Chain A
Amino acid sequence: MSFAWANSYEPKSAFTKWIDEKLPLPRLVYNAVGAGYPVPRNLNYMWNFGVLAGFFLVFQIITGVVLAMHYAANTEVAFGQIEHIMRNVNYGWLLKYAHANGASFFFLVIYMHIFRGFYYSSYKAPREMIWLLGVVIFLLMMATAFMGYVLPWGQMSFWGAKVITGLFGAIPVVGEPLQVWLVGGYAPNDSTLNRFFSLHFLLPFVIAGAVILHIWALHIPGSSNPTGVEVKKESDTVPFHPYYTAKDGWFLGLVLSIFAAVVFFAPNALGHAENWIEANPLSTPALIVPEWYFYPFYAILRAFTGDLTIPFTGIVLIEAKLLGVIAMFGSILLWFFLPWLDKSPVRSGSYRPLFRIFFWIFVVDMAALFYLGGAHAEEPYILLSQIATGWYFMHFLVILPIISQIEVPKALPFSITQAVLGSDDDAHGSKSGGGDKPEKVAGALPGHDDDGSLQPAE
């Protein structure tokens, strides 16, 4: 599955020929991330974050497996084991800090990756499946990170576990038994810690499996690009290796330098001091908040302070608690519908003047939610969370569908080649590829690729 002009793998030595016949793994690699995979020539740095995410997934698995060699999932000793890792295990401090900050960097990278998707509408046809798998991966990542944070059995671990498992208690009828079943008791206890450890060890491998599907799905249409115009011919692409291996490689080096600076000089900057106090089931910390990467969703959860009632009757339709839980899960599940909410046939935000304005407002809104999720549950933060939450849902459910109806997109380039070189011999005079008739371009985009822009999968 690739473009017709992709280089094909030719084993040179007798040994590689022998391997290629028995198990064509080198061929698979060559076609997936080697010279046999043609990639748009104009990808910008926002397209580096996928490979970075893959790096951090592997990094978390390696540091995690090593840490598990020194950890014990028992409420009596778990907190002490972390101290043991920090003080007694050779380089234990490094491994612990690398794993904890690795999680933060993983999420940072994923947020960049997701927002790249929002701006360039990477979720649109023919890449819906890549996006849907991405959302599944994100949900799995959240579950994994949440359970990992419980393992040190500090105050935030315990109370985080209690509050988050408490969310399930909000579900009508089955909620409370479900919560007791999930936790294995009436409050987080030894059973809880053990099952979380078991799952925290397992889920990264499930994520790895989902990532393989994600990349498989990606390799069918190939990557999109900053113009959103599909690849048409060979001059639109360059081989992944050496062009993008080199670009991804140097960018990884840059990010790792920043990562090292954080691990060595500010290893606790992203954490909460409270979690260096052992879990105490009888005393709640003054401010319970999750790790920073959950803040926006925590802000949405806390924004719902009043019941949904039928006005003037006082009949409660949905309790505040359940509303918050629905909104929090809904805010992510909404992403599953994004490919169908944003109907504009133009992919790239750079050619969508109206969309671009609302995209940046949405970024500000998310930034506000990030801030509010970490703030105390008091005014004015509650009101601000409510406004930001309202806008969040408005953006996806109202603004995006309306924009895609009324917006007049800018003229798209004829091809990637034209966008990069300023001209394309195949563009037959019609340099602007649609020019003053954007609807013509629009008609030719996703779904009906009658312009042959999408090469059929082999």
Chain B
Amino acid sequence: MASTAEDAGTQEGVRRRDWIHIAAISTAGVGGASVLFPLISQMAPTADVLAASTTDVDVSSIQPGQSIKAVFRDQPLFVTRLTPEAIAEAKEVDASSLRDPQTVEERLGEGDNDILVQLGVCTHLGCVPLGAGEGESKGDFNGYFCPCHGSHYDSIGRIRKGPAPSNLAVPEFEYASESVIRVG
């Protein structure tokens, strides 16, 4: 059934119709890919979820040693005013020996800031660790304890024991005023 008109052009098997095949398949391919893009992209966070991406917290009433919980991007946020003793104690730990080596400065920022802001999201699989609330278990390192699979964090949220790979995340924040921080 081979059509003579097509084969007539060349011997090497290159036919004029090949060009049409390539063009048609490429067009369909590009078309298919551009339909796929919105289909995939619709799964990403929606604009309203992204819009709610900063949180203001009034820190003026937090006493040394006290923590409060806020919400940041749908997730719990722990805001703690550390006592000078806790900071001193954390400084004594040799940071380089830790799983996720971070110094006190890296978590609190330079200067005499004593406000520690962390996501209350265990870096293992995302449970809310205990320890920020009144009377909750603080784990073996007097900080936070994740009951889901037993991760222990120290008083400044560094992972010390258990399956979690890294320290509690410290989001970026700045002082919007004397007493209010803006996270995000």
By a CB distance below 8 angstroms, the chain B residues around A304 are 163
Contacting pair B44 A288 (CB below 8 A):
no
Contact across chains for B75 and A187 when beta carbons are under 8 A apart: yes
Minimal beta-carbon separation of B168 from chain A (angstroms): 14
> Is A26 in contact with chain B by the CB < 8 A criterion?
no
**Residues B125 and A184 in contact, CB atoms below 8 Å apart:** no
One of A49-57, A131-139, A279-287, A427-435 contacting the partner: A279-287
CB < 8 Å neighbour of A305 from B44, B126, B148, B163 = B163
Q: Are B71 and A287 closer than 8 Å at their CB atoms?
A: no
Q: Is A140 an interface residue (CB 8 A)?
A: no
Q: Which residues of chain B in 40-63 are interfacial with respect to chain A, using CB atoms and an 8 Å cutoff?
A: 43-46, 49
Question: How many angstroms from the CA of A115 to the CA of B144 in the assembled complex?
Answer: 42
Q: Does B79 reach chain A (CB closer than 8 Å)?
A: no
- Measured between beta carbons, the chain B residues less than 8 angstroms from A343 are none
Are B165's CB and A283's CB within 8 A? no
Chain B: CB-nearest residue to A320: B163
Q: Given A162-B127, A163-B125, answer yes or no on A195-B74 (Cβ-Cβ < 8 Å).
A: no
Contacts of B146 in A (CB 8 A): 284
Flag A368-391 by CB within 8 Å of B: 1 or 0 each: 000000000110001000000000
B150–A378 contact, CB under 8 A?
yes
Contact A377 B74 (CB under 8 A): no
A377 touches B76 (CB 8 A): no
Most buried by A among B126, B127, B146: B126
Given the known inter-chain contacts A191-B45, A302-B149, A321-B165, please indicate yes or no for A282 contacting B124, CB distance below 8 A.
no
Contact A189 B148 (CB under 8 A): no
Inter-chain contact A284/B44, CB cutoff 8 Å: no
Chain B residues near A182 (CB, 8 Å)? 43
Q: With A and B bound together, what is the CA distance between A180 and B149 in angstroms?
A: 22
- Least CB separation from A379: chain B residue: B150
Interface string of B166-182 (1 = CB under 8 A from A): 00000000000000000
The closest CB in chain B to the CB of A179 belongs to: B126
- Whether A324 sits at the interface, judged by CB under 8 Å, is yes
Interface: A79 (CB within 8 A): no
B183 close to chain A: CB less than 8 A: no
* Contact for B76 among A165, A166, A180, A282, CB less than 8 A: A282
**Cβ of A250 < 8 Å from any Cβ of B?**
no
CA distance A180 to B163 in the complex (A): 21
Report the Cα distance A286→B145, complex, angstroms.
Answer: 11
- Tell me, in angstroms, the Cα distance from A321 to B71 when the chains sit together: 26
Q: Mark A180-196, 1 if CB is under 8 A from B, else 0.
A: 11101111010100010
A191 touches B49 (CB 8 A): yes
How far is it, in angstroms, between the C-alpha of A181 and the C-alpha of B39 when the chains are bound? 12
Among B44, B126, B164, point to the contact of A162 (Cβ < 8 A).
Answer: B126
B156: chain A residues within 8 A (beta carbon): none
Complex: A378 Cα to B73 Cα, angstroms: 31
Judge whether B165 and A320 touch: CB under 8 Å: yes
Contact yes or no, A186 B75, CB < 8 A:
yes
Contact (A162, B46) CB under 8 Å given A286-B147, A305-B163, A319-B165: no
Please give me the residue from chain A that is nearest to B130 by CB atom: A284
Contact of B74 among A169, A185, A378 (CB under 8 A): A185
In the bound complex, what is the Cα–Cα distance between A170 and B24 (angstroms)? 41
Q: Whole-angstrom distance between the alpha carbons of A302 and B150 in the complex?
A: 10
Residues of the B chain whose Cβ atoms lie less than 8 Å from the Cβ of A284:
127-128, 130, 146-148
Interface contact A184-B44, CB-CB below 8 Å: yes
Q: Does A220 belong to the interface (CB within 8 Å)? A: no
Known interface pairs A163-B148, A286-B147, A302-B149; A184-B163 also in contact (CB < 8 Å) = no
Interchain CA distance A321-B146 in the complex, whole Å: 14
B43 touches A181 (CB 8 A): yes
Say yes or no: A180 contacts B128, CB within 8 Å: no
Chain A residues within an 8 Å CB radius of B69: 282
Q: Is A167 an interface residue (CB 8 A)?
A: yes
Query: Is the beta-carbon distance between A163 and B126 smaller than 8 angstroms?
Result: yes
> Chain B residues with Cβ under 8 A from A169's Cβ?
125-126
Residue of A nearest to B162 (CB): A305
Docked Cα-Cα span, A320 to B76, in Å, equals 24
- Bound complex: CA A378 to CA B150 (Å): 7
Query: What residues of B have a CB within 8 angstroms of the CB of A320 in the complex?
Result: 163, 165
Distance from A242 Cβ to chain B, minimum over Cβ atoms (Å): 49
Q: Please state if A281 and B76 are interface contacts (CB–CB under 8 Å).
A: yes
Most buried by A among B128, B146, B163: B163
A185 proximity list for chain B (CB < 8 A):
45-46, 49, 73-74
Specify which chain B residues have a CB less than 8 angstroms from the CB of A302 in the assembled complex.
149, 163
Q: Are B43 and A324 in contact (CB under 8 A)?
A: no
Chain B 103-134 per-residue mask, 1 if CB under 8 angstroms from chain A, else 0 = 00000000000000000110011111010000
A residues near B (Cβ < 8 Å) are 159, 162-163, 165-167, 169, 180-182, 184-187, 189, 191, 195, 281-284, 286-288, 302, 304-305, 307, 319-321, 324, 377-378, 382
Residues of chain B at the chain A interface (Cβ within 8 Å): 43-46, 49, 69, 71, 73-76, 99, 120-121, 124-128, 130, 146-150, 162-165
Given A165-B126, A284-B127, A284-B130, 12 more A-B residue pairs with CB atoms under 8 Å apart are A163-B126, A167-B125, A184-B43, A184-B45, A185-B73, A186-B49, A282-B71, A283-B128, A288-B148, A302-B163, A305-B149, A307-B99
